[in-house]
Chain A
Amino acid sequence: MEQLVIAGSGPAGLTAAIYAARADLAPLVFEGLTPGGQLTVSYEVENYPGFAEPLSGMELMDRFRKQAERFGARFGPVAIERVARADDVFQIQTSDNPLETKALIIATGAQARRLPVPSEKRFYGRGVSGCATCDGFFFRGKHVLVVGGGNTAMQDAVFLTRFASKVTIVHRRAYLRAAPIEVMKARKSPQIQWMIPWVVEDILGDDVVTGARLWNPDSHERREVQCEGIFVAIGHEPKTEAFKGLVETDEEGFIVVDPGTTQTSVAGVLACGDVCDRNYRQAVVAAGQGCMAAMAVERYLGMRE
């Protein structure tokens, strides 16, 4: 019987692991399918406090992990498939053997949305990509689209100008929800063009992407654009499949917590990070919530005895 299982290994999960391990709770961390979380595909993190010099998301998460390891956090098999509750014990099904735990911290974060057009699946990896930092390299001198209007889209577009000759940002609304500083960086680049408001209706090509068909929601005009790559940055969905039925989630799948806390609808289950935070979605906020969750577990387990 485990004391505490932490699902997720982004800033929320790993901070929870640091605090829980230091409190002798011997947490078992399930790293999930993307250890380190969303930050690992971020080329440059310049706004994490304590780091005046920017560093890559991977480097930052490596540091978190090392710190968690230092205090004795353990790392378990990859991902949790399902969690069920039996009184005040939680039964965890994984790809390995099932196990039981007294407390659970859900820090599974969110995953990038795929472009909901018919031929997206066919071209994924053949011109369509969700990771600008991974794949930008293969589009040297080419024209690529970046679909999205948030921070990720702006950052991806700026990053891609290192390789692509031309980057076109495509967003379905004239309004960009990205932070002004990110929008400004993108606007400053002569290589970046803007097609807003336009929607990607379909992707064109044979073996690889050769273009896209765009649709304008205002004028209803349709246009075909030639391009070799399409980078998708249209937001994230919380990863809560494994916890359906265990805790309360809202209509979009985010875990519901008592405002200002990490307490879910079930005692002994805490949630932190992007899996329940739809407002801020910042690493430092996730880390802060991870700490809160670990401290709440400490109190909860103390009261159980």
Chain B
Amino acid sequence: MGTVVEVSAGSFQKEVLESDVPVEVDFWAPWCGPCRMVAPIYDKLAEEYDDFKFCKINVDENVEIAQRYGIMSIPMQLFFVDGEKVDGLLGAVPEEMIRSKVEEVVARFPTDERGRLKAILTSWVGHNKQDSGKFRRWTDIANEIKRDAVYRSILEAASEMEKASEGLTQLLKQL
């Protein structure tokens, strides 16, 4: 995208949490020697990647943000996707390690339309599988309650959901 974006408490929400692409945030401070080693690596990466945003934030000037993410040691590099912290790198690690972490995040959180749809559906279907399993166990135990109208409707709706989930699973295979 060009260059590393300097963010602050004021711009964090918009630049990092509301970003459409995965974001890396480099927590640094002017007195921190090792932080200076990491900065040029991100300058380089910022020029190379189009679908990845690289930011940095001065913890001295933005204490609340540093506290919010539990920063206790710098340099600390956090990775955000869709407003959530998904990974991190602690310390002044070598370039190869940073590159492979960025690539890892790219692979786990695709930004192309199809890739995103796939990721969303996969997590949806995955959740459903988990929950429907739990649900079935509950119904097995609570057989009596089928007499109650609300519970009957819930059980019906639940089996519709299972059908939909099966359908989506099949479609996912085609994506």
Q: Which A residues are within 8 Å of any B CB, using their own CB?
A: 33-36, 40-41, 43, 56-58, 78-79, 95, 124-127, 129, 131, 133-135, 137-138, 208, 229
Contact = CB atoms under 8 A, between A and B. Distances in A.
Interface of B: 29, 31-37, 59-60, 66, 70-76, 90-92, 94-96
14 contacts: A34-B33, A40-B36, A41-B34, A78-B95, A79-B94, A95-B96, A129-B73, A131-B73, A133-B31, A133-B33, A138-B71, A138-B73, A208-B70, A229-B72
Contact of A40 (B33, B59, B70, B76): B33
Given A133-B33, A208-B72, 12 more contacts: A33-B94, A34-B34, A40-B36, A58-B36, A95-B94, A124-B90, A125-B90, A126-B72, A134-B29, A135-B73, A138-B66, A229-B72
A56 B30 CA distance: 12
Contacts of A124: 73, 90
Nearest to A126: B72
A138 B72 contact: yes
Contact of A137 (B59, B90, B91, B95): B59
A10 to B, nearest CB: 12
A41 B94 CA distance: 18
B60 A137 contact: yes
A132 B94 CA distance: 21
Contacts of B32: 131, 133-134
B33 A134 contact: yes
B74 A134 contact: yes
Contacts of B31: 43, 56, 133-134, 137
B33 A125 contact: no
Contact of A34 (B29, B37, B72, B96): B37
A288 to B, nearest CB: 23
Given A95-B96, A125-B91, A137-B59, A35 B73 contact: no
Nearest to B91: A125
Q: Which residue, A35, A40, A138, has most C-beta atoms of chain B within 10 A?
A: A138
Contact of B35 (A78, A134, A208): A134
A244 B31 CA distance: 35
Nearest to A139: B72
Contacts of A43: 31
B94 A58 contact: no
A132 B76 CA distance: 15
A43 B73 CA distance: 16
A279 B130 CA distance: 63
Given A95-B96, A125-B90, A137-B59, A131 B34 contact: yes
Contacts of A137: 29, 31, 59-60
A43 B36 CA distance: 15
B71 A35 contact: no
Given A34-B92, A78-B94, A125 B34 contact: no
A135 B33 contact: no
B33 A41 contact: yes
B32 to A, nearest CB: 4
Nearest to A124: B90
A36 B94 contact: no
Contacts of A78: 94-95
Contacts of B34: 34, 40-41, 131, 134
A59 to B, nearest CB: 10
A126 B70 CA distance: 9
